[in-house]
Structure 1
Amino acid sequence: MPFRAPLTNHHADGTDCPPHHKQTSSGKPLHLDCPGRAYAQAICSCGGWELKQSGKGYVNESRNRHLASHVAQGPKVRRDLHRLDGS
């Protein structure tokens, strides 16, 4: 099963900022009912990585880098398992 690390936006009070709440690149609200994005967060389903920052672009870039590290580790883990099996 591939790992996932969904990117979510949050208001200053910690509540989720829904996808239909559009913001400028700096997080200022374009939706009348939105107080604005205070931070973006990504948590990986591997359980060993999470990031919470005000910069959505930075969180997304770091998230992509982390998910790519799982792909890079995949073949090595399989090679190590073959060695343990003696094959």
Structure 2
Amino acid sequence: MPFRAPLTNHHTDGTDCPADHKHTSSGKPLHPGCPGRAYTQAICSCDGWEMKQTGKGYVNESRKRHLASHTQGPKALRDLLRLDGS
């Protein structure tokens, strides 16, 4: 089963900001009644990685890098396989 780390947006009070609420790149709301995006969070299903930052793009880039690390496998295993293949 592949790991997942969905992005979620949150208001300053910690409540979820629904996905249909659009924002400017700085997090200012474009949806009536929305207080704006205070931070974006991603939590990996591996239970070993979590990120919470104000910059949505930064969280998304870090999330992609983390998920890609799962496909590479543990370093010790890669090293063993490299030794066995020599």
State the TM-score bracket (shorter-chain normalisation).
Answer: 0.7 to 0.9
Q: Which runs of 5+ in 2 are unaligned?
A: 81-86
Cα shift readout 1:53-80 (whole Å, capped 9, x = no counterpart): 0000000000000000001117x75996
Aligned to 1:54: 54
Q: Does 1:12 align with 2:8?
A: no
SS at match of 1:66: helix
Q: CA RMSD in A?
A: 1.9
Q: Which runs of 5+ in 1 are unaligned?
A: 81-87
Q: How does 1:1-87 map to 2 (within 5 A)?
A: 1-73=1-73, 77=77
Cα shift readout 1:3-24 (whole Å, capped 9, x = no counterpart): 0000000000000000111000
TM-score after normalising by structure 1: 0.84
Aligned-residue sequence identity (percent) comes to 76
